[in-house]
Structure 1
Amino acid sequence: MSEHLHPRSRIVSDALRAAGIPGQIVVLPDAASTAALAAAALGIEVGAIANSLVFWSDGEPLLVMTSGAHRVDTAALAERLGRGSITRASVDQVREATGQAIGGVAPTGHPAPLVTVVDEDLAGFEEIWAAGGTPHTVFPLTFDQLVALTGGRVLPVV
């Protein structure tokens, strides 16, 4: 089935399989490059979308998996992590760190593991959905699977 996916989504699919996560990548008919668009396409609450946001902090990329209902408070998160400032990564930094384009960044399938924070509020959903490597692809997983998949640190992000 993954042979029909975009190459970036195949990489994500392979990483999910390797991690023992059964969720299959779903190809959406229209791009879902925002949490609101993805939630509408899937018929779910926007909060159940696990947004993959790439920031730059202390000279390295930082992946924040946040609920689609939240806006990351970068100053508060930097303080919680004991870091200097946290700023949005540039388009080029996102591509270099993840191998994926903004609007389709998955929590896995990157060239190298990224330091990751997982929004604690995603735990309130039985099933969450994340991007599958392109703006047209998504996949389901549980909060515990997301934390295990990313090796992320669970924190409030707002």
Structure 2
Amino acid sequence: MGSKSIERVAEAASNAALDIEILTMPDSTRTADEAAAACGCSPAQIVKSLVFRKSGSEDLALLLVAGDRRVAPEAAKSVVGAELERADPKLVREVTGFAIGGVSPLGHLTPIPVFMDPSLLDHPVVWAAAGAPNAVFGVDPARLQAAVAAQPLPRDACPG
């Protein structure tokens, strides 16, 4: 995992007219706390890219959730349209092209529906994975939401 995935993220951002700079950190940014420390921000400004499988199918959904929050699957179900289960890491890699810990909000091999925690919009800049466990980019969350056509999650789907 590395340069090809990072290049795919950079290309997808460019195609979406997102002007980003991908930073490769000396340490892991795999977890929200690691990413916040590396980026010099609060965990609330970290975008966790969580891939779920829709129950009863192989269909995936990407939930972009603030680093200081978790997903309440029952509340997310109303917007996603199905019960959610954690996706198998192998399936995540096959569909998105990214390993867990480096899943970017954009640049997936296969498009999947995207849903976004509205609390991310409370910040002028958020930080997201850029295709590798130590690569990130900062972005205006409203621009990210538009670029990936993310549907908003209800606030109760992402409790703190």
- What band does the TM-score fall into relative to the shorter chain? over 0.9
Question: How high is the TM-score relative to the length of structure 1?
Answer: 0.92
One-letter code of the match for 1:64? L
Structure-1 residue corresponding to 2:71: 72
2:42 is aligned with 1:42: no
Q: How big is each residue's C-alpha offset from its partner over 1:1-38, in whole Å with a ceiling of 9 and x where there is no partner?
A: xxxx7110001001111111111100000111001100
Spell out the pairing of 1:1-158 with structure 2 (5 A cutoff): 6-58=3-55, 59=57, 60-83=59-82, 85-155=83-153, 156=155, 157-158=157-158
Q: In structure 2, how many angstroms separate the alpha carbons of the residues matched to 1:38 and 1:9?
A: 16
One-letter code of the match for 2:61? L
Q: In structure 2, how many angstroms separate the alpha carbons of the residues matched to 1:116 and 1:80?
A: 11
Q: In structure 1, how many angstroms separate the alpha carbons of the residues matched to 2:16 and 2:75?
A: 31
Other structure's SS at 1:63 match = strand
Other structure's SS at 2:131 match = coil
Q: In structure 2, how many angstroms separate the alpha carbons of the residues matched to 1:82 and 1:114?
A: 14
Structure 1 residue 80, shift from structure 2 partner: 3.8
Structure 1 residue 82, shift from structure 2 partner: 3.4
Task: Supply the RMSD in Å over aligned alpha carbons.
Answer: 1.2
Q: In structure 1, how many angstroms separate the alpha carbons of the residues matched to 2:132 and 2:79?
A: 30
Q: How big is each residue's C-alpha offset from its partner over 1:107-137, in whole Å with a ceiling of 9 and x where there is no partner?
A: 0111121111010000000000100000010
Q: In structure 1, how many angstroms separate the alpha carbons of the residues matched to 2:39 and 2:95?
A: 28
Structure 1 residue 144, shift from structure 2 partner: 1.3
Q: In structure 1, how many angstroms separate the alpha carbons of the residues matched to 2:147 and 2:119?
A: 17
Aligned pair count reads: 153
Instruction: Could you tell me which runs of 5 or more consecutive residues in structure 2 were left unpaired when the two chains were aligned.
Output: none
